[in-house]
Structure 1
């Protein structure tokens, strides 16, 4: 059977169902990365079409946009690919996803894509929403007028997706190029300019030539001399880009209106569904909207503890038993110690938090799929403006609850450079999933699981408070920074709200799977590297210091049991190791926060990634031997003694101090790297690192001094 490889691009307006269709077509066959040559995140996946030939399709999900003329950084990717046949992601076919309930506006993007001359398929989505608005869309009539295949789909249920696959196959294998139908026809001097551009750059499409004129500064594939030549041509023909864009848009809508009037029939008053209007009157209320949002967040954090505790405890105990089995099974020696006390102890300190991560991402996915997140952006816009931000800043801030790195990348959707910079600088204050292991283990140390405040768990309330504190810190920092960063352009916020929908559980499952996989694999790589380095530093020391300290310890304990001697020797060897020496070196700086040298080692290690803190503590206490008979990470921390007082090390004062430190600290090298990449220099990352470190230190100091 013959095999054919097809490359397909997926484009569409925001909230048209493009991402849902992408997930449905590709399932788990997805990967993320960056588009070649730029830092914009790229989602791609594969699917197969089986007919008389096997078609292997690579699907690239392009950023959502209302038009091919970009208004934000990530939207520039669309034309950077579609205007360049040499681009590795240039498609054989474009699927344009259109919201059938607002067809006229969605067809603007379709007509622009069509004029580029790339074979296209129009996927009509949200027909159920159109039906609830008393609108009937005739796909056959639309296909006849647009001269392209038009497929009725429901991306949420998968209805029509097989027909869409077949349409893609037929368009891709068709050797007869369809008769070119321009929806915008150039006139006057535009034609002369187009002909000269086509001749200079060997182009065969009028509209692509126009895009060379209008968007050449956005095209990464054009060298500077080419851009300068195009500027010369613009001046030669007196081409006014702003007037052209206005005239083009008007001309397109004049072509689109009669098409829509023939294909779309209204059977009555066309308005938003009753329940959408009813819910919006409550969820967008100037008072109740905020109250409900706060309650939703509170319930999310309650669920993280209530639903995840059993699974986390089981994973913790199972990991401890597994490590003990490996320790007993492998021959004694350096390799055994490295694997069990180093690598496995560190990794065990992070996998126990998989249930919390999965539940967090699942609940956030449900809120997004239901359409509620768009309402949050609207109600938060007024509040955000008081701090120098706008409603679009909500998306990066909420995304920061998952991970600051992609959250900072989503700021490209903010058109104002000023608001984008402010959002980048404060997004790391939102408590990401990497902080969740630290929060949950420390909260569990100081608050019993059965302690309740009314119907709410005290643990969940404290977790909610930490996330809320991060939000308050982000807004306050944005306001403070706005006093020093000059605003150079006006701000505006436009958003089309989607209708409410029941979440598609398959997609929620995808979100859980992808988040857990990313968390475990990415954190696992860092933890494994840090654990190996830490084990080496903790197992070896300068000169013969460790051996001398061991002999002195044994000599000082003539009447102790063998078990006590072994624990004491392990502890003193760690203290005189390279790691111990360095921990003691920085101890004077962190002592006012209530931390000892062991916590200091974990703090420094967690600069690679915050989640390393728990794994590092597990590794240190495995090596120290202080808790030989205590298997789980939590129990190791409970058993740790303060060398000065002899009491418990992790007192409420120390735990709250650590919580304050990690709420505000910039403990993530990946975040620093992405801020450098997005701001094109070291100025803002260093400012960000400095002010967040000072804020974290002062907050932790205040917490410890007040509570101790």
Structure 2
């Protein structure tokens, strides 16, 4: 340990307030990344401990380790904890550990503390949620607890910041002590176990009995051990006849037996100690087998109304501001390739990134409110049984519902799913939920083929068609999850362990910080990929082989001498697009999309809509030389009705073609922002490419079947 600098690990049970304490300690001095060698997200930061008198200031580098109930992992994320603590050569191996314990459920939380403390690393116990314990008529004597455990104990409230200074002082005291007294809570080992422990310590240069036992019990989980080392440990287990299962069971029982009197002497109870009154009353409704689902549906209605209503204003302002900025730069710079690259490529790409910020910020703020209040845990519980039938679990509900607004922030919310298998399944199927970007496409195509009349005088048929498309997306997501679960091997058992927290008033600073972190992560990480693809698409649409685009422009000018300037400009733009690389690509893929009822012009729109699905509308407007506002649905509808099929001479947009396009866009992965965020969340291109292929195949087959059945 360097003078004035220490490495700290933050460990605790899920829902003990560990992440809240991490934010309180580090503030904005934190960063995200991955733990070395694994794709588990790592949150790290720094905080200072001011010295008093002759004491020097201490800078603490802190890492927030995945939440776990025990050092024996049940998921890949939890393996990271012991992979770091049992390996002194790991770059994140701590000089000191802060263990966060929920005071309202002390005995269960202290099980993890006893295991960590026995590893011999200096430890500080942060006693959190004392206010919740008080609401349950319990008070915890931190001094008595510290005396019995022989470690510094700090009483804190991570939500309000109370007691943080005392915690820092406890960290200083433990760091200066430089050692931890191990109590060895587990059962007394027999002579053969002692001999095995000594042999392991000698072989691997260990000085702690409990760490040596972890090498025996968990060597298959330790990524830092080579296969020959694991084989040698297996041989030792066989040599001494060590029974791992019996040891684990006996250890846990022994720890709880020793903890009972410690907890009993440290906690004073008055009256009935149960969940707070209002928690019990609300749970009788929110966990009810009928009213629970009804309440959830009502909350969703409010959430998505808020997302659409609140996000539309800032998104319109961003869209308008981006357009004006592009226009100003275009006029300020000399005409040429550089001008076009900056305005149509780079600035348009930036606009495509920041336009999502309001939705991401609002959605994550609302999700944070539901989580901080304790309600989200109840939603996961009531939905878990339904989700498991499709290979998912209760935590998958939030991303799937959020996908109706936008798949980008929805996929980012999958971080709350502890099982990597179920998180991956959720990420792979979330884009099937019909997002708001599909609405312009749905509106135009439904207007072409669905008559505008009402059933029973109140139900609009076009509205029912729109509802049907959203329902089809949900059915497709659940069906795909079930099908994918048959092919993706489950390498870890499925657990849905969730502590039911009491209801609380959200900490608004934490809500704002959570929203800020989500926006920052999207802009800085996924934004890089979006920018790159935007520039590529601009190049494909702006350039063509040789002078083909110039020749097409000249020929169009000669052909379209009459008409307004707007009509001539639109015709020229359409001709240039047809001759561009994008147009050439449209011609190239025409044989592939022809069985769906599409021609090369629709092919260009399909290519362009990879930037964002809603681009389909503007692209179709340009291709068909539509003048005026491209978002004027009647104008677009009128022009599409007039469009002729080059082969049959009849209407191009028949009911068969329109329904084929609708089905295609329900299932197709036509959004580079989603591809980018999947790349960010899965830490590689493997799963985004698999997702792209399977969704495009699903879209193609479904659209093909629709067209062939209706034509």
TM-score after normalising by structure 1: 0.85
Report what 2:48 is aligned to. 48
Indicate whether 1:38 and 2:44 are aligned: no
Task: Summarize the Cα distance change of 1:501–1:688 in structure 2 as closer, same or farther, 3 Å threshold.
Answer: same
Does the Cα contact within 8 Å between 2:561 and 2:568 map onto a contact in 1?
no
Q: How many Å apart are 1:701 and its aligned residue? A: 6.3
Is the 8 Å Cα contact of residues 323 and 340 (structure 1) preserved in structure 2? yes
Q: CA deviation at 1:5?
A: 2.4
Count the aligned residue pairs: 687
Structure 1 pair 121–70 and aligned structure 2 pair: CA distance change class (3 A): same
Residue in 2 aligned with 1:438? 437
**In the TM superposition, what is the alpha-carbon distance from 1:190 to its structure 2 partner?**
1.8
**C-alpha deviation, 1:523, in angstroms:** 4.2
Looking at structure 1, the residues matched to 71 and 39 of structure 2 have their Cα atoms a distance apart, in angstroms, of 19
How far off its partner does 1:327 sit?
0.7
Task: Give the Cα separation in 2 of the matches to 1:330 and 1:458.
Answer: 50
Q: Is the 8 A contact 1:405 1:674 kept in 2?
A: no
Please report how far the alpha carbon of residue 558 of structure 1 lies from its aligned counterpart in structure 2 after TM superposition: 3.5
Distance 1:524 1:615 in 2: 18
CA RMSD of aligned residues (A): 4.2
* Whole-Å separation in 1 of the counterparts to 2:663 and 2:542: 31
CA distance in 1, matches of 2:658, 2:32: 37
Matched, 1:253 2:280: no
RCO higher in structure (CA 8 A, sep ≥6): 1
Q: Is 2:224 aligned against 1:221?
A: yes
Deviation at 1:570, TM superposition (A): 2.9
Q: Which moved more, 1:389-398 or 1:499-508?
A: 389-398
Q: SS of 2:272's equivalent?
A: coil
Q: What secondary structure does 1:586 align onto?
A: helix
Q: Does 1:124 align with 2:113?
A: no
Q: Is the 8 A contact 1:301 1:463 kept in 2?
A: no
* Partner residue of 2:157 out of 154, 157, 160: 154
Q: Secondary structure at the match of 1:569?
A: helix
- Which string of whole-angstrom CA distances, capped at 9 and with x for unpartnered residues, describes residues 120-166 of structure 1? 11111111111111111000111111111111111112211222223
Work out whether residues 67 and 78 of structure 2, in 8 Å CA contact, stay in contact via their aligned partners in 1: yes
Mean Cα displacement is larger for which, 280-289 or 643-652?
A: 643-652
Aligned to 1:181: 183
In the aligned structure 1, how far is the partner of 2:61 from the partner of 2:386? Answer: 42
Give a deviation string over 1:568-608, Cα, whole Å, max 9, x none.
3233112101111102322454467676656644644666x
Contact 1:431 1:663 in 2 (8 A): no
| CA distance in 1: counterparts of 2:237 and 2:699, whole angstroms | 53
Query: Which has the higher mean CA deviation after the structures are superposed, 584-593 or 483-492?
Result: 483-492
Match of 1:645 in 2: 642
CA distance in 2, matches of 1:405, 1:539: 32
Which secondary structure state, in structure 1, belongs to the residue aligned with residue 62 of structure 2? Answer: strand
Contact 1:122 1:149 in 2 (8 A): yes
Distance 1:650 1:349 in 2: 29
How many Å separate the matches in 1 of 2:354 and 2:491? 46
Change (3 A) 1:539 1:473: closer
TM-score with structure 2 setting the length: 0.84
When residues 462 and 311 of structure 1 are mapped into structure 2, their CA distance, relative to the original with a 3 A threshold, is farther
Q: Does the alignment pair 1:142 with 2:148?
A: no
Whether 1:25 aligns to 2:22 is no
CA deviation after TM superposition for structure 1 residue 463, in Å: 9.4
Q: Which of residues 105, 109, 118 is equivalent to 1:106? A: 109
Is 1:526 the counterpart of 2:529? The answer is yes
Identify unmatched segments of 5+ residues in structure 1.
Answer: 415-419
Q: Match of 1:232? A: 235
Change (3 A) 1:532 1:393: closer
Q: Do 2:587 and 2:600's aligned partners in 1 also have CA atoms closer than 8 Å? A: yes
Deviation string for 1:341-374 (max 9, x for gaps)? 2222333244333222221121112111111121
Q: 1:340 aligns with which of 339, 343, 349?
A: 343
Selected match of 2:517 from 514, 517, 525: 514
Contact 1:41–1:409 (CA under 8 A) maintained in structure 2: no
Q: 2:77 aligns with which of 69, 74, 78?
A: 74
State the Cα distance separating 1:274 from its structure 2 match. 1.0
Gaps of 5+ in 2: 448-454, 645-650
Closer, same or farther: CA 536–691 of 1 in aligned 2, 3 Å? closer
Aligned with residue 195 of structure 1, among 198, 202, 205: 198
